[in-house]
């Protein structure tokens, strides 16, 4: 039997603090895809069933705040990757749960939030046709803070280790391919 986690218990955390080297350093969150900046597209697709909204970003804070999203910067120096962004989101999260998603998803299933939240009180991680998507996850904040901190301290920057340590259940999105928008050509499709 699954238990639905209440809206007031979940913070949405959007990962948007990368260097976007394949986009010549352009701020990916504000890149236009299908007529809309990625950050706005992500917010619209995921809805408003959250206590609050955070974005892991390393510049442009005023632009995010203008959307009603609280920007948080990496606490780890040197841009070590998305796990540093997840660390920042977890540090500023004031609810028991954090739903993380990258800003650059090509496809966001309409039932993404509901299915991850319905997985129960242990959290959950998404899996699409390409495999495990460790940055699309519902994190139990207190446990995840410890696991992410330990991984970063050990110099391990992949979220897979944290997923395994927390033993998050996998929610399969059969037939879906979330994809990523990483290069200028990706934005043309």
Mean pLDDT by 10 residues, the chain (189 residues): 73 79 66 92 92 89 90 81 93 97 94 90 93 96 96 90 94 92 73
What torsion do the CA atoms of 3, 7, 29, 72 make, to the nearest 10 degrees?
Answer: -110
For the chain, the C-alpha Rg in angstroms (whole number) is 15
**Rounded CA separation 40/145 (Å):** 27
What pLDDT shows up at residue 1? Answer: 41
Residues 6+ apart with CB under 8 A from 183: 22, 23
Sequence ranges of the domains in the chain: 7-188
Whether residue 104 contacts residue 38, with contact meaning beta carbons closer than 8 Å, is answered with: yes
Evaluate whether the domain defined by 7-188 bears CATH number 3.30.70.2190: no
Write the DSSP symbol of residue 180: B
**Other Cβ atoms closer than 10 A to 69:** 24
pTM value is 0.91
């Amino acid at each position: 039997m699954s238990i639905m986690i209440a809206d007031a218990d979940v913070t949405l955390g959007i990962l948007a603090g990368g260097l976007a080297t394949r986009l010549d350093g352009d701020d990916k969150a504000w890149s236009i895809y299908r007529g809309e900046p990625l950050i706005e597209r992500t917010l619209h697709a995921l809805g408003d069933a959250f206590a609050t909204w955070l974005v892991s970003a390393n510049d442009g804070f005023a632009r995010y705040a203008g959307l009603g999203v609280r920007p948080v910067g990496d606490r780890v120096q040197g841009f070590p990757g998305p796990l540093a962004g997840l660390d920042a989101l977890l540090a500023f999260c004031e609810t028991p749960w954090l739903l993380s998603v990258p800003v650059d998803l090509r496809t966001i299933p309409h039932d993404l939030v509901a299915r991850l939240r319905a997985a129960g009180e242990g959290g959950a991680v998404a899996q699409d046709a390409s495999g495990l998507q460790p940055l699309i996850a519902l994190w139990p904040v207190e446990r995840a803070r410890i696991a992410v901190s330990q991984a970063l301290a050990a110099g391990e920057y992949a979220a897979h280790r944290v997923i395994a340590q927390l033993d998050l259940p996998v929610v399969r999105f059969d037939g879906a391919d979330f994809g990523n928008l990483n290069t200028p050509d990706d934005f043309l499709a």
